[in-house]
Structure 1
Amino acid sequence: MQLIQGLNLLQDQWLWLILAAFFIGFSKTGISSFTMPAIPIVASVFGGKDSTGIILPMLIVGDIFALYYYNRHAEWKNIRKLLPWTLLGLILGVIVGIYVNDKTFKACIAVSVLICLVILIYTEKKGENFKVPQSTLLYALTGILCGFTSMIGNAAGPIFSVYLLAKGFKKNDFMGTTAWFFFIINLTKVPLQIFFWNNIPIKTIYLTGLMIPAIAVGAFLGVVIIKKLNERLFHLVILGVTALAAIRLLIP
Structure 2
Amino acid sequence: MLTDPLFYLCAIPAVLLYGIAKGGFGGNVAIVSVPLMALVMSPQQAAAILLPILCVMDLVALRTFRGRWHRENLRILIPAALFGVLLGALSFRLLSDAHIQLLIGLIAVVFTLNYWLRRGEPSVRGVDRLRGGFWGAVAGFTSFGIHAGGPPVNVYLLPQRLDKTLLMGTIAVFFAVVNLAKLPAYVYLGQFDTSNLLASLVLLPLAPIGVRLGFWMLQHSNEQLIYRLCYLFLMITGLRLLYQGVSELLLF
User: TM-score when scaled to structure 2?
Assistant: 0.82
Aligned residue identity for 1:247: Y
Which of residues 199, 208, 212 in structure 2 aligns to 1:220?
A: 212
Q: CA deviation at 1:225?
A: 2.5
Q: By percentage of residues, which structure has more helix?
A: 1
Partner Cα separation in structure 1 for residue 49 and residue 94 of structure 2: 20
Q: Size of the alignment, in residue pairs?
A: 241
Partner Cα separation in structure 1 for residue 52 and residue 66 of structure 2: 19
Partner Cα separation in structure 2 for residue 238 and residue 137 of structure 1: 22
Q: CA deviation at 1:111?
A: 1.6
Aligned residue identity for 1:74: W
Aligned residue identity for 2:202: L
Aligned to 2:64: 69
3-state SS of paired residue (1:166): helix
Aligned residue identity for 2:93: I
Aligned residue identity for 2:12: I
Q: CA deviation at 1:180?
A: 1.0
Q: CA deviation at 1:116?
A: 4.6
Aligned to 1:87: 82
> Is structure 2 residue 29 aligned with structure 1 residue 4?
no
Q: CA deviation at 1:183?
A: 0.3
Q: CA deviation at 1:206?
A: 2.7
State whether residues 40 and 109 of structure 1, in contact with CA within 8 Å, keep that contact through their aligned partners in structure 2. no
The 3 A distance-change label for structure 1 pair 193 and 112 is: farther
Which of residues 3, 6, 17 in structure 2 aligns to 1:23?
A: 17
Partner Cα separation in structure 2 for residue 53 and residue 160 of structure 1: 22
| Identical pairs, percent | 25
Show the 5 A alignment for 1:1-252. 4=2, 10-29=4-23, 30-100=25-95, 105-119=96-110, 121-122=112-113, 124-125=115-116, 126=118, 128-132=121-125, 135-195=128-188, 197-226=189-218, 227-228=220-221, 231=226, 232=228, 236=232, 239-240=235-236, 243-244=239-240, 247-248=243-244, 250-251=246-247, 252=251
Q: CA deviation at 1:49?
A: 2.4
3-state SS of paired residue (1:12): helix
Where does structure 1 lack aligned partners over 5 or more consecutive residues?
Answer: none
Q: CA deviation at 1:170?
A: 1.0
The 3 A distance-change label for structure 1 pair 97 and 237 is: closer
Partner Cα separation in structure 1 for residue 8 and residue 100 of structure 2: 21
State whether residues 45 and 196 of structure 2, in contact with CA within 8 Å, keep that contact through their aligned partners in structure 1. no
Q: CA deviation at 1:207?
A: 1.9
Question: RMSD across aligned C-alpha pairs, in angstroms?
Answer: 2.8
3-state SS of paired residue (1:117): helix
State whether residues 66 and 219 of structure 1, in contact with CA within 8 Å, keep that contact through their aligned partners in structure 2. yes
3-state SS of paired residue (1:129): coil
Partner Cα separation in structure 2 for residue 176 and residue 21 of structure 1: 19
Partner Cα separation in structure 1 for residue 169 and residue 238 of structure 2: 25
The farther-off stretch of 14-23 and 237-246 is: 237-246
Aligned residue identity for 1:26: I
Partner Cα separation in structure 2 for residue 238 and residue 158 of structure 1: 6
Partner Cα separation in structure 1 for residue 242 and residue 50 of structure 2: 16
Q: CA deviation at 1:28?
A: 0.4
Partner Cα separation in structure 1 for residue 234 and residue 75 of structure 2: 30
Partner Cα separation in structure 1 for residue 178 and residue 201 of structure 2: 21
Aligned residue identity for 2:70: E
State whether residues 67 and 179 of structure 1, in contact with CA within 8 Å, keep that contact through their aligned partners in structure 2. yes
3-state SS of paired residue (2:67): helix
Where does structure 2 lack aligned partners over 5 or more consecutive residues?
Answer: none
User: TM-score when scaled to structure 1?
Assistant: 0.82
The farther-off stretch of 232-241 and 156-165 is: 232-241
